[in-house]
Amino acid sequence: MRGKTKSLLAVGLTLLILVGGAFAYAGVHKVYYRSAYPRTYREYVQPYAAAYGVDEALVYAVMRTESSFNPGAESHIGARGLMQITEDTFEWAQSRMEIADDVRYEDLYTPEANIKYGIFLLKLLTEEFGSTENALCAYHAGWGNAKKWLAAPEYSSDGVQIDNIPFGDTGRYVKKVGETVKIYKSLYDL
């Protein structure tokens, strides 16, 4: 009987250690992922995402993908800041704002201005194109390209959703942002 009790105790202790180790691993794992997928600039993202009806997880995913949260980022085509907005796109978005502001293109290196316009742009594109995936195609490849793809049967079987993205880099971008959105939602319950 004594041997059986010792064996049961050993099994119980082993299970306790394994369960404790699993919880510790899960905690460390979540801490690591939260550092790799931060909610940087939350003080700007939350109010503007709420005001424009854009998913916070989408905003963080775009910022992480576009600039890795570097407000001074600039692309080879001159897109600026956290959400990588070009001058033409900025002017287009600004012309559609209900309340005019004094933000200039030069101000897009400032996190608040860039986030405000980036979120507003995501709102406009989602309204225009009807889905997040289509909006991301337009965000990355341009409004005109997304319109052409929706009108072409080889890229859109129904004229509503882009099924086949002809630019490989845009296809990878849409997929990466989509996967990053899922990670943000699982880490932060967004």
Say if residue 29 is in the same domain as residue 114. Answer: no
Asked if residue 137 has pLDDT above 50, the reply is yes
Helices (H), 37-131: 42-52, 56-67, 87-95, 111-129
The number of folded domains in the chain is 2
Length in residues, the chain: 190
Q: Is 75 in contact with 57 (CB distance < 8 Å)?
A: no
Give me the mean pLDDT over the 98-112 stretch. Answer: 94
87 is catalytic: no
Say if residue 60 is in the same domain as residue 21. Answer: no
Q: What angle do CA 48, 54, 58 make, to 5 degrees?
A: 105
In angstroms, the CA 32 to CA 56 distance is 20
Q: How confident is the model at residue 3 (pLDDT cuts 50, 70, 90)?
A: low
Give me the mean pLDDT over the 148-163 stretch. Answer: 97
- Among residues 56, 51, 121, 58, the alpha carbon closest in space to that of 84 is found at 121
- Residues with Cβ within 8 Å of 170's Cβ and at least 6 positions away in sequence, in order, are 137, 140, 141, 145
Chain mean pLDDT for the chain: 89
pLDDT value of residue 16: 45
pLDDT tens, position by position, 20-52: 444 444 455 678 889 999 999 999 999 999 999
Say if residue 99 is in the same domain as residue 129. Answer: yes
Say if residue 149 is in the same domain as residue 102. Answer: yes
Range of the domain at 17: 1-36
In angstroms, the CA 123 to CA 114 distance is 14
Say if residue 45 is in the same domain as residue 125. Answer: yes
In angstroms, the CA 187 to CA 61 distance is 12
| Share above pLDDT 90 across residues of the chain, in percent, rounded to a whole number | 80
Range with the poorest average pLDDT among 14-23, 65-74, 167-176, 180-189: 14-23
Q: List the catalytic residue out of 66, 98, 128, 154.
A: 66
Neighbours of 14 (CB within 10 A): 10
Say if residue 11 is in the same domain as residue 91. Answer: no
CATH number at residue 129: 1.10.530.10
Say if residue 79 is in the same domain as residue 107. Answer: yes
pLDDT value of residue 99: 85
Q: How confident is the model at residue 187 (pLDDT cuts 50, 70, 90)?
A: very high
Give me 141's structure tokens.
């490849």
In angstroms, the CA 154 to CA 150 distance is 9
Say if residue 24 is in the same domain as residue 84. Answer: no
Say if residue 15 is in the same domain as residue 104. Answer: no
3-state SS assignment for residue 138: helix
Say if residue 5 is in the same domain as residue 45. Answer: no
| Share above pLDDT 70 across residues of the chain, in percent, rounded to a whole number | 85
Tell me which residue has tokens 């860039």.
114
Q: Is 133 in contact with 178 (CB distance < 8 Å)?
A: yes
pTM metric for this prediction: 0.84
pLDDT tens, position by position, 50-89: 999 999 999 999 999 999 999 999 999 999 999 999 999 9
Say if residue 67 is in the same domain as residue 85. Answer: yes
Neighbours of 34 (CB within 10 A): 13
In angstroms, the CA 69 to CA 58 distance is 14
Say if residue 138 is in the same domain as residue 54. Answer: yes
pLDDT tens, position by position, 89-100: 999 999 999 888
